[in-house]
């Protein structure tokens, strides 16, 4: 048997360039997966935030549209020369949420003077035995406050500390016109609105009669 001698002279180790390219591609692929995961996480967080904001906005919009106050009528008390007491009867609109009158303000204007009135618990009653103009002390009202006379409240939701009105309630907001306008003279146009914390405002508008014959006048 012959022995064959193999000479290694002139030969060099082979460099596998294809393997190096494969490792680089793998690194890029892993990096792309990581970036995609981070991007997906950010997108999910953004979508959740937008969803919560959309739900909150939707609920607030529904509340603002479905909640509100309606003015049914107005009645004045005259001393034969001027109307010095005013009762504005209000009720929630159909399907309305509860409305806290302690956060509602009353805006009134006789075209010369405009006043903004807030609720005062010092003038409140749920006893109508003396009538809407005799059940409370109007002298306790100022040019910046209105009182509450409960006409109908089946579930006792309206109290002096928490004057909340809801479905089927009927409330009279009472105003001392002598302090707000020095009384309302004949042929005086009065406009205003009762603005709740949120929801639809109740609008009122009337003109006092040309003469005051009766003590209690439907406006």
Report the chain's mean pLDDT, rounded to a whole number. Answer: 85
| 8: three-class secondary structure by DSSP | coil
Residue at token pair 């909640």: 67
* 90 token code pair: 């209000």
Res 133 pLDDT > 60:
yes
* Residue 181 falls inside a structural domain: yes
- Tell me the Ramachandran region of residue 17: left when phi exceeds 0, alpha when psi lies from -120 to 50, beta otherwise: alpha
* Residue 29 falls inside a structural domain: yes
**How many residues are given for the chain?**
219
Same domain membership, residue 143 and residue 78: yes
Same domain membership, residue 155 and residue 52: no
* Residue 122 falls inside a structural domain: yes
Residue at token pair 């609920």: 59
Among 25-34, 85-94, 114-123, 204-213, where is mean pLDDT lowest? 25-34
* Residue 40 falls inside a structural domain: yes
Read off the pLDDT of residues 9-66 as tens digits, 9 standing for 90 and up.
Answer: 555 555 555 555 666 677 777 778 877 778 777 787 777 777 777 776 666 666 666 6
* Residue 91 falls inside a structural domain: yes
* Residue 137 falls inside a structural domain: yes
pLDDT at residue 30, rounded to an integer: 79
Same domain membership, residue 213 and residue 129: yes
pLDDT at residue 97, rounded to an integer: 86
Res 5 pLDDT > 80:
no
| 148: three-class secondary structure by DSSP | strand
Same domain membership, residue 75 and residue 23: no
Same domain membership, residue 177 and residue 112: yes
Structural domain ending residue among the three candidates 8, 35, 66: 66
Same domain membership, residue 50 and residue 32: yes
- pLDDT, mean of residues 97-116: 94
- pLDDT, mean of residues 87-112: 93
Res 191 pLDDT > 70:
yes
Task: Name which of 69, 152, 74 is nearest 108 in CA terms.
Answer: 74
Same domain membership, residue 108 and residue 83: yes
pLDDT at residue 120, rounded to an integer: 96
Domain count, the chain: 2
| 21: three-class secondary structure by DSSP | helix
Same domain membership, residue 177 and residue 147: yes
pLDDT at residue 189, rounded to an integer: 96
pLDDT band for position 88 (cuts 50, 70, 90): very high
Of the two residues 109 and 154, the one the predictor is more confident about is 109
* Residue 2 falls inside a structural domain: no
Same domain membership, residue 123 and residue 47: no
Per DSSP, which regions of 56-187 are E strands?
A: 69-78, 83-92, 99-100, 105-109, 114-125, 145-152, 164-165, 170-176
Q: What is the spatial distance between Cα 125 and Cα 132, in angstroms, rounded to a whole number? A: 9
Task: Name which of 217, 207, 186, 188 is nearest 81 in CA terms.
Answer: 186
Same domain membership, residue 191 and residue 90: yes
* 38 token code pair: 């981070």
Which domain covers residue 48, as residue numbers?
Answer: 18-66
pLDDT at residue 35, rounded to an integer: 76
Q: What is the spatial distance between Cα 5 and Cα 43, in angstroms, rounded to a whole number? A: 68
pLDDT at residue 60, rounded to an integer: 63
Which residues, in sequence order, are CB contacts of 75 under 8 Å at separation 6+?
Answer: 86, 87, 89, 132, 216, 217, 218, 219
Cα–Cα distance list, 191 to 60, 69, 107, 185 (Å): 28, 16, 8, 14
Q: What is the spatial distance between Cα 216 and Cα 197, in angstroms, rounded to a whole number? A: 31
* Residue 111 falls inside a structural domain: yes
- Kindly report the CATH number assigned to the domain that includes residue 112: 2.60.40
- pLDDT, mean of residues 93-103: 90
DSSP code of residue 130: T
Same domain membership, residue 143 and residue 81: yes
Same domain membership, residue 149 and residue 51: no
pLDDT at residue 103, rounded to an integer: 95
């Amino acid at each position: 048997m012959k022995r064959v001698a193999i000479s290694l002279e002139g030969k060099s180790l082979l460099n596998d360039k294809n393997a190096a390219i494969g490792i680089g591609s793998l690194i890029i692929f892993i990096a792309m997966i990581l970036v995609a995961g981070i991007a997906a996480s950010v997108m999910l967080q953004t979508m959740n935030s937008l969803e919560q904001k959309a739900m909150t906005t939707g609920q607030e919009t529904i509340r603002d549209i479905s909640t509100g106050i309606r003015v049914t009528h107005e009645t004045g008390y005259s001393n034969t020369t001027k109307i010095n007491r005013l009762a504005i009867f209000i009720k929630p609109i159909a399907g309305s949420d509860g409305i806290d009158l302690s956060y509602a303000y009353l805006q009134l204007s006789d075209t010369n003077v405009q006043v903004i009135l807030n609720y005062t618990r010092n003038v409140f009653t749920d006893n109508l035995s003396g009538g809407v103009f005799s059940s409370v002390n109007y002298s306790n009202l100022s040019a910046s406050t209105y009182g509450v006379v409960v006409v109908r409240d089946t579930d006792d939701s309206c109290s002096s500390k928490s004057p909340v009105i809801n479905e089927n309630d009927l409330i009279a907001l009472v105003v001392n016109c002598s302090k707000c306008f020095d009384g309302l003279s004949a042929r005086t146009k009065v406009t205003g609105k009762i603005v709740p914390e949120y929801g639809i405002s109740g609008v009122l508008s009337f003109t006092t009669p040309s003469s005051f014959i009766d003590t209690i006048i439907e406006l």
